[in-house]
Amino acid sequence: MACALQTDGQLENDPKNDLVCKPHGIKAVFACMQCKDTLCCEDCVVTTHQCHPFKKLSVLMAEKRASIENYITLLEQTKLPLLKEQMKATENQLARNEIDAKEARKAVLERSTKLKSELDKVINKSVRKCEEMAFENESKLTVYKEHMENILTEYRQKLSQVQHVIDEGTVEEIIHTTKNLPQPPVYPQYPDLHLPTFTAGDPSHLREAFGTIVISTSEETTDESNNTPTVVREIEELD
């Protein structure tokens, strides 16, 4: 006889079914709990499945139906509405996607125009400064060169006179000239020049001035009671 049998009524009151016990080929009226709901007939209870816990098929079917109904209720009342909400949120994000991209592109181009304008100002100012220094240096060097040319002309004349005395002068003239030789020329001080050079700056500073793309990523929370997407902010490096 069975050791643990849940009948919930007499066998003759069971609902009619077409389930058959495979070992004995007769109508199954029980399910063996120990053997994973294996269908059993009255003979199985006292033979193959002796002392196993059983449930009457009507009881088991009622439990299975209740389990399936609970599953359907869970889907219809919780899971599917949540899925619809997520689909609606996705549709809204699709609508926002192109708008957000256009706004970001617009901001990038506006910033680019602004920086190009500022960069042009810096470039023009730097070029103008180079030209001003070149003009100033040219003026100083021109004056210095003219001064040196004047000294050279003056001393060439003096040397010519001294040479003439040596070649054709009298003894008295030579003696007099020896005592009155012109002093060597005093060279003027070389002008103080401002020579421009260019040192390239760190391009990363330009990146910082330009800005970065901020990426907002939506992550679904595992808490179904709060399906609001979380936002994570990350910085994308510009290569």
Residue boundaries of the structural domains of the chain: 20-52, 77-189
Is the pLDDT score of 34 beyond 60? yes
Q: Between β-strands 30-32 and 26-27, what pairing exists: parallel, antiparallel or unpaired?
A: unpaired
pLDDT computed for residue 143 by the predictor: 96
Of 78, 5, 103, 85, which Cα lies nearest the Cα of 45? 5
The encoded tokens of residue 115 equal 């920086």
pLDDT computed for residue 116 by the predictor: 93
Is the pLDDT score of 46 beyond 80? yes
Q: Tell me which amino acid residue 203 is.
A: P
- The chain-wide mean pLDDT, for the chain, equals 82
pLDDT computed for residue 218 by the predictor: 59
Is the pLDDT score of 155 beyond 80? yes
pLDDT computed for residue 70 by the predictor: 93
Q: Give the integer Cα–Cα distance in Å for 217 and 100.
A: 13
The encoded tokens of residue 18 equal 């077409």
Q: Give the integer Cα–Cα distance in Å for 157 and 185.
A: 13
